Chain A
Amino acid sequence: MWPGAMLKEVLCSLFKKPATHNYPFVKIAKPEAFRGKLNFFSDKCIGCKICMRDCPSNAIIIHKIADKQFEAEIRLDKCVYCAQCVESCPKKALEATHDFELASLSQDSLRVIIK
């Protein structure tokens, strides 16, 4: 027995395209079920706050701004992107988008208020 059982595979790889993606320049398709940044539809919200109760990281706060009008404060830095709130919402006022490039240098920009 001689060492180098993988040598053939290694040499073949010299003539193959890289397995990696050139990420920031080439974007790959995300799966349909992907859970990214939350989106909020204020016209559907009834202010039951079940999303706030079920959120494992207290990342969503529903504020009442006027009679039967609500806004959502979403903390992108606290959110664990489990999308439990989307499932818990009885009126489908929340949705998980495919947006995931949320890194930021300031904490203020991670506090999103959707009216």
Chain B
Amino acid sequence: MAKVTIPIGPQHPSLKEPESFSVTIDGEKIISMTMKLGYNHRGIEKACEERTYLQDMYLIERICGICSHTHSTCFIQAVEEIAGLEIPRRAAYIRSLVGELERIHSHLLWLGVAGHEIGFDTLLMYSWRDREIVMDLLAMLTGNRVNYAINTIGGIRRDINADNIRDILKAVDTLEERTKYYIQIATQEVTLIQRLSGVGTLSFEDAKRLGAVGPTARASNLPRDTRKDDPYAAYGELNFKVVTDTHNDVYGRTLVRVGELMESYAIIRQILTNLPDGPIAVKAPRKIAPGEATSRYEAPRGEDLHYVKSNGSDKPERVKVRAPTLANLQSVSKMLENGYLADFPIVIAAIDPCFSCTDRMIVGVHHPDGELAGAMDWKALRTYSIDWYKKNRGVNFKIKA
């Protein structure tokens, strides 16, 4: 049969956000997939350069409605590193607490969406009902269900009291019971297992080579977790394990996410029992000293990366955001290869994509003769990074010939 290329999107019922995919199929089988980003570009990075650091925090928080704490914390960490601010331990613990609550709500949301994509809407209804428990907790702690605005430069804005701790522990017990039920469903429900097994396979080698992050990487048995690799906030003092799985498919990604929910409950209990006393914020200057910093944060979807450059004024000179979905998009193409067209929605949904987080702009400068300049190739980028580390951090990497 002849190969056919069909466009999917930008507006498509199975996708939650406008995104264009071009899928080449041979009968029912997918041969290859390419995608076109850019339908959600909002110019947030440029807008950040026009606002002060404090205003940017609220803007950055609105990059994503699901992982808003992720983006604001990641940005604030970079700003605090440039300014040389050390946040109080209590603030670090509460940042981790909100981060874990956010992970719980994101994973429960994903579980429902995945159920919906495979026609298992019962799971959607129940997991989203249980998600309300954690949404109420977030509202109680921070004031709002989304866009929590708990961070401020130098710490956090709201303290928690003994009543809050009691309420959180009670709700976490309920959630843990429900999650155990979902683990039971995920391991017993034969429709779920058969629908997800062998779909969207990504081998360990491919996950490593294509730079997969978050649950997508961990379901391919790649223990990549920023909370362990480069601990931030209070994670360095907490005891938890990185959940991995060897299924390599969408089923494995489901197991990783429900397993991570259980880890999150354990982390929250540790945070609340070891919560240090003291102030919640240090005073931050309005003008940040010149410098640059890169900050990493383990979002529910994977590693989030922010780069901030300061020129000494109260506004940043450059802000760069790399959302976890961008890191996972290369893996999606690989996962879809040799799969069926009917699996397309669930394979895309399995990385928990957020395209409006992802959409950034790169300006390629063309020479008069048509050659693309201004962008660095892999070799040049590698040489540059090795030189940068030698000059700025005193680390001497050996280049293999």
Q: How large is the interface on B (under 10, 10 to 19, 20 to 34, 35 or more residues)?
A: 20 to 34
- Contact partners of A5 in chain B: CB under 8 A: 184-185, 188-190
In the assembled complex, B179 has its CB within 8 A of some CB on chain A: no
- Contact partners of A4 in chain B: CB under 8 A: 189
- In the assembly, what is the distance between CA of A55 and CA of B58, in Å? 9
- Are A81 and B144 interface neighbours, CB within 8 A? yes
- Are B55 and A54 interface neighbours, CB within 8 A? yes
Tell which of A9, A34, A53 touches B144, judged by Cβ atoms closer than 8 Å: A34
In the assembled complex, B191 has its CB within 8 A of some CB on chain A: yes
Least distance between A91 CB and chain B CB atoms (Å): 18
In the assembled complex, A105 has its CB within 8 A of some CB on chain B: no
**Chain B interface: which of A37-45, A65-73, A82-90, A106-114?**
A82-90
- Contact partners of A34 in chain B: CB under 8 A: 139, 143-144
Assuming A6-B123, A34-B144, A87-B157, is B189 touching A55 (CB within 8 A)? Answer: no
- Are A56 and B58 interface neighbours, CB within 8 A? yes
Q: Would you list which residues of chain B between 138 and 166 have a CB under 8 Å from chain A?
A: 139-144, 147, 149, 152, 157-158
- In the assembly, what is the distance between CA of A108 and CA of B184, in Å? 54
Interface of A (DSSP majority class)? loop
Assuming A10-B122, A82-B58, A82-B149, is B51 touching A35 (CB within 8 A)? Answer: no
Candidate in B52, B54, B123, B158 with the most chain A CB atoms within 10 angstroms: B54
In the assembled complex, A3 has its CB within 8 A of some CB on chain B: yes
Least distance between B389 CB and chain A CB atoms (Å): 35
In the assembled complex, B62 has its CB within 8 A of some CB on chain A: yes
Tell which of B58, B136, B158, B185 touches A33, judged by Cβ atoms closer than 8 Å: B158
Q: Would you list which residues of chain B between 183 and 216 have a CB under 8 Å from chain A?
A: 184-185, 188-191
- In the assembly, what is the distance between CA of A55 and CA of B190, in Å? 53
- Are A31 and B58 interface neighbours, CB within 8 A? no
Q: Would you list which residues of chain B between 112 and 151 have a CB under 8 Å from chain A?
A: 122-123, 126, 129, 132, 136, 139-144, 147, 149
- In the assembly, what is the distance between CA of A31 and CA of B189, in Å? 38
- In the assembly, what is the distance between CA of A89 and CA of B144, in Å? 21
- In the assembly, what is the distance between CA of A111 and CA of B16, in Å? 33
In the assembled complex, B59 has its CB within 8 A of some CB on chain A: yes
- Are B51 and A6 interface neighbours, CB within 8 A? no
- In the assembly, what is the distance between CA of A55 and CA of B51, in Å? 10
Interface of B (DSSP majority class)? helix
- Are A31 and B139 interface neighbours, CB within 8 A? yes
Name the residue on B nearest A34 (C-beta): B143
Q: How large is the interface on A (under 10, 10 to 19, 20 to 34, 35 or more residues)?
A: 20 to 34
- Are A56 and B139 interface neighbours, CB within 8 A? no
- Are A6 and B185 interface neighbours, CB within 8 A? yes
- Contact partners of B57 in chain A: CB under 8 A: 56
Q: Would you list which residues of chain A between 1 and 20 have a CB under 8 Å from chain B?
A: 1-6, 9-10, 19
Least distance between A12 CB and chain B CB atoms (Å): 11
- Are A83 and B141 interface neighbours, CB within 8 A? no
- Contact partners of A9 in chain B: CB under 8 A: 126, 181
- Are A3 and B191 interface neighbours, CB within 8 A? yes
- Contact partners of A33 in chain B: CB under 8 A: 139-143, 158
Name the residue on B nearest A2 (C-beta): B190
Least distance between B124 CB and chain A CB atoms (Å): 11
- Are A19 and B132 interface neighbours, CB within 8 A? yes
- Contact partners of A30 in chain B: CB under 8 A: 139
Name the residue on A nearest B188 (C-beta): A5
- Contact partners of B147 in chain A: CB under 8 A: 80, 82
- Contact partners of A35 in chain B: CB under 8 A: 143-144, 149
Assuming A33-B142, A54-B54, is B190 touching A80 (CB within 8 A)? Answer: no
Assuming A10-B122, A34-B139, is B144 touching A84 (CB within 8 A)? Answer: no
Candidate in A4, A9, A53, A56 with the most chain B CB atoms within 10 angstroms: A56
- Are A80 and B62 interface neighbours, CB within 8 A? yes
- In the assembly, what is the distance between CA of A2 and CA of B54, in Å? 55
Least distance between B195 CB and chain A CB atoms (Å): 10
- Are B129 and A19 interface neighbours, CB within 8 A? yes
- In the assembly, what is the distance between CA of A82 and CA of B152, in Å? 11
- Are B140 and A3 interface neighbours, CB within 8 A? no
Interface residues of A (CB under 8 A from B): 1-6, 9-10, 19, 30-35, 53-57, 80-84, 87
8 closest A-B pairs by CB: A33-B143, A56-B55, A56-B58, A5-B189, A1-B190, A31-B140, A5-B188, A3-B191
Give 15 CB contacts A-B under 8 Å: A4-B189, A5-B185, A5-B189, A5-B190, A6-B122, A6-B185, A31-B136, A32-B140, A55-B55, A57-B58, A80-B147, A82-B149, A83-B149, A84-B54, A84-B149
8 new A-B contacts, CB < 8 A, other than A3-B191, A34-B144, A84-B54, are A2-B190, A5-B190, A6-B185, A9-B126, A33-B140, A54-B55, A82-B147, A83-B143
